[in-house]
Amino acid sequence: MLQADCESVFEETCSGMLPLADRSGLIEVLGELHPGDTLVVCDVARLSRSFLCLAMVLSDLQKRDVKLRVLNQPREFTSLDQMLDQASHDLNTLKRLDHSRHIKRGIALAKKAREQAA
């Protein structure tokens, strides 16, 4: 965030899966934004892992003329369509990675159970 030349840095340690009402850090940063500001996040999943919640946040940003910059993306998003397209792609990628981790964990547990049974 320092390299992104941010004026203020907010940190939130809770899960992006929580409802917006339970995310005091995100609520605080959204309250600090003004028209013309740019919200900078490391990854779009930091805003939310729920597409519906993310769409609500992105819609709010657009209505208030706040741009979104995602550090792991090469461009700044200025339209809701751009934001949602990228967010959908990123969330689907996260789901695939989570699914892959669950499969690998299941395989490892099955191998361990087989070894213990032998």
Question: What is the per-residue pLDDT for 34?
Answer: 93
Q: What is the pTM of this model?
A: 0.58
CB atoms within 10 A of CB 107: 10
Report pLDDT digits (tens) over 25-82.
888 888 989 999 988 888 777 777 777 788 888 888 889 998 888 887 766 666 667 7
Length of the chain in terms of residues written: 118
Question: What is the per-residue pLDDT for 1?
Answer: 46
Question: What is the per-residue pLDDT for 35?
Answer: 94
Domains and CATH numbers, the chain: 20-117 (3.40.50.1390)
Q: What is the CA radius of gyration of the chain?
A: 18
The CA distances from residue 80 to 12, 41, 61, 91, in Å, are: 24, 16, 8, 16
The alpha carbon of residue 57 and the mean position of all alpha carbons in its chain are separated, in whole angstroms, by 11
- Residue identified by tokens 């919640």 is 53
Q: What value does the mean pLDDT take over residues 84-107?
A: 79
Residue 12 has pLDDT above 70, yes or no: no
